[in-house]
Amino acid sequence: CWKRLVGSLRNSGYDGHIIFGVHKEIPQDEQDYLKEMDVTSYIVDFVDCDSSVLGGEAKGGSAAVRGKCAKGIEKLNLEWGRYEMARQWLNACDTCTGWSLVMDTRDLFFQADPFASLPPPKEAKQDLLFIEEIAKHTSPLDDPKRWFKLGNARFMSRVGPCYGRSTFKAYAERPVLCSGTVIGTRRGMHRFLSVLVGEFYSNNQKKNKNCKSPGMTDQWNMNYLYYNGKFGEYDRTKTIPWGTGPVMTIGHPCINKNIPNPNHSQKDMIVVDKETGLIRNNWETDDNSKARIAPVVHQFDRCHKWIRPWFSRHGDLFNTVPTLAWK
């Protein structure tokens, strides 16, 4: 997992900071690898959450992140607390002055430097970038079942009971924004994390348990905040359409609800570069674009039938141990 994640990032030529939280019992060989790749690691000790912040019992696979907290942040479960940790770690890094990516780790890998297609932060018109899921205006197929719009049952069932159904009717046709890949300058990322974490704390103080975890999740809370203008500075905040820019989210395109289960691992909307075999951004048609080959590929776990053999053919992305010139 570390090699696919960190190895692919370092092999892309990225030479900036990499910061992760790791379990206190991380194996020694993994610690050694992260040190070799010049990764800053913070030990995260899992503890029980303050009972006041839980709106119910987290069950199934979500219990690991929605039913536990990090020591010192007992009033935010791990799903929410990771954003507070990211805010603290970014603030503590005085030399983190470029672009930042707050991201998931389990289902993501790199094919190129994630920030190479972006302008220098000081020259950028926007300082906070959200990644759109596939939508009507970006889908290669004219099929609503293959789009991921905000007016879906999951969003409505999470946001409605907390904020009210009238809060999202105006933007129900807009694309879902992914909470697992958010990009910003130091200033923009601080604004994003501060607003989001502040909303988590605010929701935990409400009597309405539907505003707390596990009823409310980070993904839908973030979407509610964005589409209601809560991140502010509208001229500095932007969404990046699916199939363009630094991140290619392939999870939803890999699922076809028109066919019986198993309906995952579809490839009809995935474009592969003929020369390299790497995964392309569908709408980056300029051969000179630094985002033509998708720098970041996210949610590959919904595509496992074809991504596993793809990984075996492209082991050079992450199995090679690069020599870090600055070490």
- The mean pLDDT values, 10 residues at a time, for the chain of 327 residues are 95 96 96 96 95 78 82 96 98 97 96 98 97 98 95 91 86 96 98 98 94 92 96 96 98 95 95 97 96 98 96 93 83
Distance CA 199, CA 38 (A): 33
Query: Can you tell me which residue has the tokens 């906070």?
Result: 128
Between CA 107 and CA 148, with CA 272 as vertex, the angle to 5 degrees is 55
**CA angle (240 as vertex; 266, 152 as ends), nearest 5:** 55
pLDDT value of position 127: 98
Q: What pLDDT sits at residue 275?
A: 95
DSSP 33-70: HHHHTT-EEEEE-EEEPPGGGBSS---GGGHHHHSEEE
At residue 189, the pLDDT reads 98
pLDDT, position 326: 81
pLDDT of residue 322: 85
Global confidence as pTM: 0.96
* pLDDT at 24 (0 to 100): 93
The pLDDT value recorded for residue 321 is 85
pLDDT at 60: 65
pLDDT of residue 169: 82
Tell me if 203 sits within 8 A of 210, measured CB to CB: no
pLDDT of residue 61: 63
